[in-house]
Amino acid sequence: MMKQRKRLAGPIALAITTTLAASAASAQAVDTARIEAGGQNDWLTYHGSYKSYHYSPLAQINASNVGNLGVAWIHIPGRSTRGLQSMPLAADGVLYYTGSYSRVFALNGATGEVIWSYFPELDEALVARQTHSPYNRGVAIGEGKVFVGTMDGRLIALDMKTGKLAWETKLLDSQKLTVGFTGAPLYANGNVVIGAQGGEWPGRGPIFGVNAASGAKKWEFLTVAGTEEAQKTWGNDSWRTGGGGGWMPGTYDSETSTIWWGTANPAPLYDWSGGDWKTQGARPGDNLYTSSVIGLDVDSGKLKFYHQELPHDAWDFDSAVGEFLMLDRDGKKLTVHPNKSGYIFVYDREAKVQNVWRITENSNFVKNIDPKTGELIGRRDFTAGKVSEPLCPHISGGVSWNAGAYNPKTGLYYKLGQEWCMTLDIVKTTPVVAPQAQLNIGANFTIAKPPSGEIYGHLDARDPVTGAKKWEVRFPEPPLASVLSTGGNLVFVPDSRGTVHAYDAENGTELWNHSDGTGHQGGIISYAVNGKQYIAITAGFGGMAADDYAPTFGGVYKSMPRDDGALIVYSLK
C-alpha cells in the first residue's frame, strides 16, 4: 500500500535540520537498558518506564512554583475524529505522538515545530466500518525507529530522525476481522509487541511479537484458547469467536525476559447463561485467557503464567486496561494491576495473588473478591431479558482504560475511580463472521445513577499494596485521562470538562488549574529540553465513554466538539 509523508517548507526544514543535528550529536540509542533506566529528561515508553509508574523525577516545576505554569506551545494534529487519546513519548528533546487515523508526529519538544509527520494511507471504507476508531493511543520507540499500529492491521516502523518508512508488516486481516490496532506497541529486547483491539468481536485476540530490526513476525499468542488447556474452557466450539483482544500495551520484566500483558473481555460481551455459566449460554466455561493478566516470553511468545481476574467475564470488565506497577516491598517483588471493574490486583512476579482491594464505592457485579485467592464471591450472572437492578460499575469501568501514577518518593498510588451504573437488557445474539466480523455485544444498556446518589469521579492517593487511602479529591463527572506524578511533589489530573489540575502529592491540596477548552481522555507526560521542564497533555473528547457525557451531564458537554484535538505543552512562565 502506498504511503505519503508530508514534506517541509524550506526555512522550517533548515531549522529542523539544525535541531536534528544538535539532537543527534547528544542522543544515545533508545534500547531496553535505557528504557529500564528511565532517564530523567525523557519519557521512552507508554507507561513512562518498564516500572509503569507514570512518574517523572523532574522537579523544576514543583509545589512552590506551579502557580506560574503557562502554555508554552500547542500543536494541532488535524482530523481529530472522536478526539485525541494518545500518550506522547519524549527522547532527546523530541516529542513523538499520534493523532487519529494512525498519524504520527515528531515535534521539537521546546518549540513545537514539526520535524516530520507521517500519514499512513488507509482504506476509508474499512475505517468507517470500525466501531472503536479512528483514534490511536501512541507509539513505541527503540533502535532508532518509531513504531505505530494502524487501523488496517499493520505494524509500521519509521526512522526516528526523518520519519522515513523503515518497514511495515501486515499482521491482521482487518477487512475480514473489522478490527486493527488502536493501542500503542511496546518495545523490549529487540522486539515490538502489539495486541489487536476488539474484546467483543468474534475473533481470538492475537498478540504479536515482531523483530524490531527487520519487521519479521516472530510469534503470535492467541488470548482465546491459546493452549489446549485453555480451549477446554470454551464450550460448544465458542472459542472460534471468543474475542479477547489485548488492545493496550503491557510492560516488560527484564530480569525474567517476560512481557506482562492484559487481555480483554470475551464475546459476546454479555452472556445469558445465568448461574449455569460453566455449562450453558453462548460461551460455557471460564473462557481462558480472556479478562486475564498473562506473562509471555518476550522472544518466543510462550505462555509462562497467567491469572484470570474475572473467569467467564459477563460484565465487560476486562484486564487489558491500565498500568503494571513493578514494586519492591519488604523484600518482595510485586506487580500491581487495576482491573476495569475497579478492583486492584496485587501479584507476585508469577501472577500469584497477594492482595485484592477495591477503589470504587458502587460495585455490585460481585459481592467481593477474595483478597487471598482472587476468587469471585457472590457473582451476578444474567439470563436473557431486563436486569432488575442496575449493574455497577457502568460499562466504562470503575477505572478508566487510562493509567494512574505511582510516586516512589511518597509511596502513594494516584488512581481515578468512577462511580456510575447502568441499566441492562440482555439479548441473545449469534456471532457474525462473514463477509466481515460484526460487533457482538449481547445487550442494550443505558448509563444510570448509582444507588448511593449522583454519578461522580474521584482521585485517590492510596498505598498500592494494601489499598489504604490517604486522601481523595472528587470530580462532578468521572475523569477519563491518565494521571501524572512528578518529583516536584505534584499530581496532575486532566479532567473531562477540559481543566488540568495540579495537586500537592502529600495532601491533595489543589495548587493550580488551567482550562484546555475541551475534554481530556488521553495521556500526560513530563520531559525536559535544554534544562527546562515541560508538561505535555493531549486534549480532545469523543468515543464510547465520552459520547455519553452530553446526554447524561449536559452543561459544557453539550457544546464540546467531538472531532477536535490538540497537544498542549506547559512550562514555567
Which positions are annotated as active-site residues? 316
Helices and strands of the chain, counted as H and E runs: 6, 38
Distance in angstroms (rounded) separating the CA atoms of residues 395 and 384: 18
C-alpha cell at 536: 505535555
Q: Are 40 and 528 in contact (CB under 8 A)?
A: yes
Beta strands 499-504 and 490-494 are: antiparallel
C-alpha cell at 193: 509487541
Beta strands 292-297 and 303-308 are: antiparallel
Distance in angstroms (rounded) separating the CA atoms of residues 409 and 182: 33
At 377, the amino acid letter reads I
Q: 341 vs 133, 399, 473, 521, CA distance in Å? A: 23, 7, 20, 18
Residue matched to cell numbers 526523518:
162
Q: What is the largest CA-CA distance in the chain?
A: 69
Q: Are 482 and 47 in contact (CB under 8 A)?
A: no
β-sheet bridge partners, residue 386: 425
Residue matched to cell numbers 465513554:
545
Cα angle at 564 between 194 and 115, to 5 degrees? 65
At 192, the amino acid letter reads V
Strands in 152-272 per DSSP E: 154-159, 165-170, 186-188, 191-195, 206-211, 217-222, 251-253, 258-262
Chain-centroid distance, C-alpha 339 = 12
